[in-house]
A and B are shown apart, each in its own frame.
Chain A
């Protein structure tokens, strides 16, 4: 599975959109981009995934660049409960390979 690079930490004001970037320049054609988050040592929570097209669900939007070398997870209206570590993972196999993720802090 390809390697990903994410900022170590980010801050965002409550109510604003949180945009979390992820670089995956070595991604191959059949690798999906997955996002999970882990809130305060709980079990990781699935957020969204995509291959080529942008995706949206009730939690977030995923924007993947045309060359697929980077992506952005967007939380449209961040709340304090969105404070967590966010993991960007590219995968083609069944196992998930977690990096260090981005520690997102939502400030009141």
Chain B
């Protein structure tokens, strides 16, 4: 069973360009989470999605950032008009869907995408 996959692993963009980061969750997982890790800092939650729905986007910057998890295909984190401060590692995690008890499941992380803005 393949783990969480992210691509590209490294992405270089010039200021003002767009960055698209992809995340394929583990098989059978329908919940996806995006986190950002700035250099020498801990991970910060950005957004939590289920198929076709954004559940919690409390950590997303209000402008330039968007996320989706379509019915078919990977989850996409999109950053428009990138700036140098967007340079970071972006991690995606996935977990199984809720059971009837609404339990919290452990999250499994991908290897991350390292974005460098020049």
A residues at B contact (CB < 8 Å): 32, 34, 38, 41-46, 49, 87, 91-101
Contacts and interface: CB of A to CB of B under 8 A. Distances in A.
Contacts, number: 55
Interface of B: 4, 31, 33, 35, 42-45, 48, 55-56, 58-59, 89, 91, 93, 95, 104, 106-112
B31 A96 contact: no
B109 A32 contact: no
A94 B106 contact: no
A75 B108 CA distance: 20
A96 B45 contact: yes
Main secondary structure of the interface of A (DSSP, over half): loop
A41 B90 CA distance: 11
B45 A100 contact: no
